[in-house]
Structure 1
């Protein structure tokens, strides 16, 4: 082991780049990705524009991916696609660019920049390679990322709802946030939760309104109730929705049919 470490240290200091390339490929094939990546990092600049540049870029990107350095792996996968669009590796690298960003996508409560980038890159992959055997997987992962974005928007809307009237009318903000989410992702699995949040927020707005605005807002809540039960007649929120309807109707001067 000591001899191996000593040899590797000499290799790092060497200016024999052909030897470094051969050893880097040996390390890579032996799944010693840490040593391979260290050598590829230097070689990628040395061999730029040569006939070895393509395989070095691919191997470096793949080694970084296997080391779970998804940010840098995505960069080099993407670089290969841009530099060698006709490469035999191009299809795989386009998919892996998107997949690395999928791996970087954090929990819904955090910033979702990588989630959106992943969706865009998967869509680009589908557009570029419509006959790929990875289309179904790409579509599934895109749907997963979209659900994460919807859940993030639901959490934002719920935060506004929970803030209530703290420093303003946060119920209105909750309604707008939930409505925007439904417009962007109409088929989301969170549709029922978002729709009920809108109903509940509109009802509370009506209850807490000043007198001259109360009746109009109550009517809006009643209209929202009808939309909700028409779409979700067996909702788990049905009992509470019925209570909202009764309370909102009581705020309207004329009878609500």
Structure 2
């Protein structure tokens, strides 16, 4: 029974990617998702989002008590931030700081603040194993936030989280209930069949297992450790808001509190 499960952690954060639109084009159901999640990864204009969208999402998040996170990306609107790019470290650090600063304006205007930083897409995956790019992201966070810093959300065991911890920033590991994992604990590339999981019952069951047991089944059938402080559900999948609600309810039934880490 779900109520008999001993959670791997007493509480877990539930985050989603929001504000992923541009002009009249909208991808995510921001208002519905903000009624479920505890942390909002807001697109900062480099892979999606524009000033009006950023402002609106910050206002909605602040009104609901949802933490606002800067989802920073390579400068790649045409490719939605999912294309591999080679950006010099100093340039990347400046672009990361620029994105955080832009979102901070709207977060402050809404009566909130930027509470953490999470890379998006190709940048997220690159910083798992690329020390140069991981360090550049951390340098950008430091440039934008100063000595106080900001927590950095990333994949457990990644060089990004290692660089963040070395720089004195809070390194927050996250798991993905709707993404397939390799036996090494990394994400299966999006171009691979089965990389994104769409069956709601499967996603809900994986979310509970991740939070309650710190485990997931990898693409080859093996078991991988995925202990995390935050659980991500992608906002650009069909029925994302309804699925997020089911996940939150299932976590509660399993005895896991859902609350923001920041």
TM-score (norm 2): 0.21
Rg larger for: 1
TM-score (norm 1): 0.21
Whichever structure has more helix as a proportion of its residues is 1
Whichever structure has more strand as a proportion of its residues is 2
Ranked by relative contact order (alpha carbons within 8 Å, sequence separation 6 or more), the top structure is 2
